[in-house]
Amino acid sequence: MEAINASIGFDRRLYAQDIAGSRAHAAMLAATGILTDSDAEAIREGLLTVLSEIEGGRFDFRTDLEDIHMNVESRLRDLIGPAAGRLHTARSRNDQVAVDFRLWVRDQCDAAISGITELIRALLAQAEAGADWVMPGFTHLQTAQPVTWGHHMMAYVEMLGRDMGRFQDARARMNECPLGAAALAGTSFPIDRHMTAAALGFDRPTANSLDSVSDRDFALEYLSAASICAMHLSRFAEELVIWSSAQFRFVRLPDRWTTGSSIMPQKKNPDAAELIRAKIGRILGATVALFTVMKGLALTYSKDMQEDKEQVFDAADSLMLALAAMSGMVAHMTANRPVLAAAAASGFSTATDLADWLVRTLGLPFRDAHHVTGTLVKCAEDRGCDLPDLTLAEMQAVHAGITADVFSVLGVENSVRSRQSYGGTAPDQVRAQVARWQARLA
Enumerate the active-site residues. Answer: 140, 261
Amino acid at 365: P
Look at the alpha carbons of 54, 57, 60, 61 in this order and tell me if their dihedral is positive or negative: positive
Chain-centre distance for alpha carbon 207? 30
Is 276:322 a contact under the CB 8 Å cutoff?
yes
Strands 334-335 and 251-252: antiparallel
Is 383:348 a contact under the CB 8 Å cutoff?
no
Strands 134-139 and 142-148: antiparallel
User: Residue 204: what are its φ and ψ, rounded to 5°?
Assistant: -170, 165
Amino acid at 78: D
Using CA atoms, how far residue 428 sits from 19, 129, 223, 335, 350, in Å, is 53, 13, 37, 20, 20
Strands 142-148 and 334-335: unpaired
DSSP one-letter string for 330-345: HHH-EE-HHHHHHHHT
| CA–CA distance, 155 with 41 (Å, rounded to integer) | 54
Collect all residues with Cβ–Cβ distance below 8 Å to 186 and sequence separation of at least 6.
180, 209
CA–CA–CA angle 304, 306, 310 (5° rounding): 120
